[in-house]
Structure 1
Amino acid sequence: MARTKETRANAAPGAGTIFALRAIGLVLLARWLFSMAQMDLGAALSAMVSSPWACINLVFLFLLIFLPGARAVAERPFHPLPQWLRQALRLFAFLGFLFAVWSVGAFAASAGWRRTVQTVAATNGWLLAAPALYAAVLWICRPRALWRTNVAARRFAIGRYAVALDPVTRTVSVWAERRKVGQYDARELSVRWAAAQGVRGTPAAARTVVFATAGEPDGQAAPRSTAAPSLARGAFGRRPKIELLWDSPAAAGHNRQTVFRTALTTEGDRVAARALDMSLQQV
């Protein structure tokens, strides 16, 4: 008798981000309730009412645990949170991180390192774990593109910008994090390479990159050469930048507009920018 093959349902992209944020919120809430349990109820309530920081923490924990409006969607794997929620969590996490670091630093300066180490051991490492949790929320909510670069699918991620090219309709959609910047005719877009300040604007040595175009079988894509500036920092530590330009003769008053300008902070950004440049030239 043939057996039915069992398959496990895959989690939607972004579900891990939601789970991680809620887990951090529950850990912070549990630790806060444990600390409040050391005091009597009246003293705890009076301390909460008279402390603005307690009110900020309550709002932060509410947003972190309930995540209103969060939903994992395959079309935006790196942005399951609404933009307002992501910005609010980043703000509260930044304030919490500063407060935690300042509190630990002030205690270490006044009590000395030996007593600080003893206190860290007595609190099971919470003096170090609290700033780390706030920093984790900051890192999870950092500015990101909607997806990773996938040249075969004509999807590009450069910094916090995501670009999707439809070769059939010859249109390009651009997102800044989760906000859609606009939709453009691919033939009216171009990539301009801008070297960092203090770095010569001449492009680096040409590199051969393989791009698969429509009608070419897999593994037989024609190699094409393209040049791009290196990631060498300028005199003030600045990275080279690129601009996506929109030049539409039909749009009166909108000719030669900059869709976005961003720095190439990683090698992946530079590879995606080269691939986008070549794809636009092939349209």
Structure 2
Amino acid sequence: MARSRPTRAAAVPGAGKMFALRAIGLVILARWLHSMGDMNFLVALRGMASSPVACLNLVFLFLLIVLPGAQARVERPFHPLPQWLRQTLRMFGVLGCLFALWSIGVFVWADGWRRAVEAIEVTNGWLVVAPALYAAVVWICRPRALWRSNVAARRFAIGRYAVSVDAATRTTIVWLESRKVGQYDARELSVRWPTDMQPAADMACSAPADAPVAGATPAQSGAIADTASPAPDAESFAPAISTASTVSTVSTVSTVSATSPAPAASSVSAVPASPRHAAPARTVGRRPMIELLWDSPAAAGHNHQTVMRVRLATEGDRVAARALDTALKQTPPAALP
């Protein structure tokens, strides 16, 4: 008789989120029942029936404990809940947290900090734990991508968007949280970067070739730059300077550097950089935005669309965007019909 091979028990991605939400709901429900046990149960039920806040809390606890439609799946590790349930829990969590903070604030304003500390001690810290539990529900149900970025598996997470590139079938699937935006041909997609931000490969190709040599004088650095770099075009430079003025400027700089005790590095740094190689100006604290464009020659009239437009908030988003751009560029372009 063949013996079954023992399998290693492994948790399905997303099961921990469901367990945490149910645990929070059970803790709030247990505390609520304990508070109702200190008073008359029928009176408490009548007061709950006439209170809209209590009714909202009952619905919130029912959704937290039951989690209708929730299912942990490997392909959706960060979204085991349906979209409507996640949005509803997030909304109820925000309302519950605001109401708890407002109630505690009114109590502290009316009775003072000493009575508030005594109330925290009597309730075993529930006045602090209750807003924290509501905030935890909001944080668990926050907007996220469908998965983490995995460049080897060609899965990219940028903000709330998740993009998967299949090299075998040359298809790209874009997800907005748990909603599928669409499926496209990878050869027809391209990443459009902002004007003040370029991918790493483009920045490496546009590195300045006329950088001054260490330890060289300004005249020698200018001579090396003139021999190594081609002649500037009229669009990127100012009008050409005459030969006589150039010779006089070089002689003046050499005379000043010979008479002044300042080091040569300061004189080199004082020379203005070329406008062609100057770094683009960026606003401090500004988050750049990229776009994923779909351009299909087969879809007449609908071949220019913006699939997604997202801001690069973190360094992980920037790395994923560059990796996505590289993966799309490695795919051969679509053949014209």
Q: Same fold (TM over 0.5)?
A: yes
The equivalent position to 1:240 in structure 2, one of 280, 288, 294, is 288
Deviation of the 1:208 alpha carbon: 6.4
State the AA in 1 paired with 2:120.
V
Structure 1 residue matching 2:302: 3-state secondary structure: coil
Give the equivalent residue in structure 2 for 1:282: 330
Residues 225, 37 of structure 1: alpha-carbon distance in 2 compared, 3 angstrom cutoff: farther
Q: How far off its partner does 1:131 sit?
A: 0.6
Instruction: Please say if residues 154 and 165 of structure 2, whose CA atoms lie closer than 8 Å, have aligned partners that are also in contact.
Output: yes
Displacement of 1:203: 2.6
1:35 Cα offset (Å): 1.1
Note the 1:1-283 alignment, pairs <5 A: 8-194=8-194, 201-203=195-197, 207=200, 234=283, 237-283=285-331
Specify whether residues 8 and 247 from structure 1 end up closer, same or farther in structure 2 by C-alpha distance, changes over 3 A only. same
1:225 Cα offset (Å): 5.5
**1:226 touches 1:274 (CA, 8 Å); kept in 2?**
no
Tell whether the 8 Å contact from 2:12 to 2:73 is kept in structure 1 after alignment.
yes
Unaligned runs of 5+ in 1: 195-200, 210-223
Conserved 8 A contact 1:90-1:137: yes
Letter in 2 for 1:251: A
Deviation track 1:18-44 (CA, whole Å, cap 9, x = no partner) reads 000000000000011111111102211
Match of 1:214 in 2: none
For the Cα contact (< 8 Å) 1:226–1:278, is it kept in 2? no
TM-score, length of structure 1 as denominator length: 0.84
Quote the Cα distance in structure 2 between the aligned partners of 1:125 and 1:143.
Answer: 30
More helix by share: 2
Structure (1/2) with the larger strand percentage = 1
Structure 2 distance, partners of 1:6, 1:165, is: 34
Superposed displacement of residue 178, structure 1: 0.6
Q: Distance in 2 between matches of 1:88 and 1:260?
A: 25
Of structures 1 and 2, the one scoring higher in RCO (CA 8 A, sep 6+) is 2
Cα shift at 1:112: 1.0
Cα separation, 1, equivalents of 2:318 and 2:124 = 44
Distance 1:102 1:131 in 2: 10
Please give the root-mean-square deviation of Cα atoms over the aligned residues, in Å. Answer: 2.3
Q: Following the alignment from structure 2 to structure 1, what is the Cα–Cα distance between the partners of residues 121 and 204?
A: 58
Alpha-carbon separation, structure 2, partners of 1:253 and 1:174: 22
Cα distance, 1:6 vs structure 2: 6.1
Structure 1 residues 11, 124: closer, same or farther in 2, change over 3 A?
Answer: same
Deviation, structure 1 residue 226:
8.3
* Structure 2: 5+ residue stretches without partners: 207-280, 332-337
Letter in 2 for 1:202: D
Worse overlay, 22-31 or 107-116: 107-116
Secondary structure of 1:92's partner? Answer: helix
Cα distance, 1:192–1:226 mapped onto 2, change above 3 Å: farther
The Cα offsets for residues 92-131 of structure 1, whole Å up to 9 and x where unpaired, read as: 1111011011111111111111221121121111111111
Mark the CA change 1:255 to 1:129 in structure 2 (over 3 Å): closer, same or farther. same
CA distance in 2, matches of 1:266, 1:187: 27
Q: Is the 8 A contact 1:233 1:240 kept in 2?
A: no
Q: For residue 300 of structure 2, give the secondary structure of its aligned residue in structure 1.
A: coil
Large movers: runs of 4+ above 6 Å: none
- Partner of 1:152, secondary structure, is coil
1:7 CA displacement = 5.3
Amino acid at match of 1:142: R
TM superposition shift of 1:252 = 2.1
SS of corresponding position for 1:112: helix
